[in-house]
Amino acid sequence: MSAEGKIALTGEVLFKLGSLPITNTFLLFFIVEVVLVLFLFLYKFKKLPGKLQVIFEKLYEFIDDIASSVLDKRTRQDTLWFFFLMFLLILLNNYVGLLPGVETVYLKSGDHKVALFKGANSDINLTLALGAITFLFVHLYALKRKGLKHWIKHFFHTKPLAILPLFIFVGLLELTLEPVKFVILGVRLLGNILAGETLVYNMSKIPGVAIPFLLFELLVGFLQALVFVALSITYLGLLLKEEH
């Protein structure tokens, strides 16, 4: 939501570092990422956990339970860190985008105002970037774990030879559509979060009405982070599945 009340799919440029434009969505994303990294490095996990550690561990176990239905033990040990961090990063950005002060503090830029902060997951550039990073991780791990031959056989079959041209056509089609899965993940995340933030923004203008919608969006923010990660885990499981 721009300062003029219009829905925007990208962030607005605040300033430039050389030729690199820094948008309000990227700035908020960067702050959240730095806070998350510092927390993971500096927080001291104890044998007798406190409330924060209990929440953290329960979330980790929750993602592990989802992965255990799709991935084997070795794969979970290798990849769960990535999926859990992606879940935390998306979840935190979903929630931070709903905080008071986001899209309500403005800077002057020429003749119009620009919000200092905007929810990162309401920017299509950032949600597509999350999808692209996940796509690369999933396929590079599948290549490392199973090898190039298995990866190719996932898309191209050779038997029976009588319909080999059909297999080649279908394989090329599947290979082309594979990145689309992760583009859809990014677009799905964008659509749901942008709709929720817009709803809360408009309802906040009516006294006493915004709270129920805000609570609902907290649930939606959690579910959207979960859906993104659960589908990513599923895609990895399909790539690693043995051919029959």
- The domain spans of the chain are 13-240
Residue 67's pLDDT is 94
**Token output for 26:** 């990227």
Over residues 135-148, mean pLDDT: 91
User: Comparing C-alpha atoms, which of 77, 84, 76 is closest to residue 36?
Assistant: 84
Is the confidence at residue 243, as pLDDT, over 60? Answer: no
Please state, in angstroms and rounded to a whole number, the distance separating the CA atoms of residues 206 and 218: 19
Is the confidence at residue 28, as pLDDT, over 70? Answer: yes
**Pairing relation of β-strands 106-109 and 112-115?**
antiparallel
Over residues 14-24, mean pLDDT: 85
Q: What is the pLDDT of residues 208-234, one digit of tens each?
A: 666 777 788 888 889 999 999 999 999
Residue 244's pLDDT is 45
Beta strands in the chain (DSSP E): 13-17, 20-23, 106-109, 112-115
Residue type, position 125, single letter: N
Q: What integer best gives the mean pLDDT of the chain?
A: 83
Q: How many CA atoms does the CB half-sphere of 223 hold within 13 Å?
A: 10
Q: How many CA atoms does the CB half-sphere of 108 hold within 13 Å?
A: 2
Beta-carbon count within 10 A of 189 CB: 25
Q: What is the pLDDT of residues 165-207, one digit of tens each?
A: 776 777 777 778 888 889 999 999 988 888 877 777 777 777 6
Residue 167's pLDDT is 66
Residue 162's pLDDT is 61
Over residues 10-24, mean pLDDT: 84
Q: Does residue 64 or residue 169 have the better pLDDT?
A: 64
Residue 92's pLDDT is 93
CB contact set of 239 (below 8 Å; sequence gap of 6+)? 138, 139, 142, 146, 151, 154
Residue 115, helix vs strand vs coil: strand
Residue 226's pLDDT is 94
Residue 75's pLDDT is 92
- Find where tokens 């051919």 sit: 243
Question: What is the torsional sign of CA 220, 222, 225, 230?
Answer: negative
Residue 217's pLDDT is 84
Please state, in angstroms and rounded to a whole number, the distance separating the CA atoms of residues 97 and 119: 4
Is the confidence at residue 16, as pLDDT, over 80? Answer: yes
> 22 in the Ramachandran plot: left (φ > 0), alpha (ψ -120 to 50) or beta?
beta
Residue 222's pLDDT is 93
- 22-26, 34-38, 99-103, 126-130: segment of lowest average pLDDT: 99-103
Please state, in angstroms and rounded to a whole number, the distance separating the CA atoms of residues 148 and 87: 28
Q: Which of 39-48, 116-125, 220-229 has the highest mean pLDDT?
A: 220-229
Please state, in angstroms and rounded to a whole number, the distance separating the CA atoms of residues 115 and 4: 10
- 30-44, 61-75, 83-97, 153-167: segment of lowest average pLDDT: 153-167
Cβ atoms of 155 and 241 within 8 Å: the answer is no
Residue 160's pLDDT is 62
pTM summary value: 0.85
> 106 in the Ramachandran plot: left (φ > 0), alpha (ψ -120 to 50) or beta?
beta
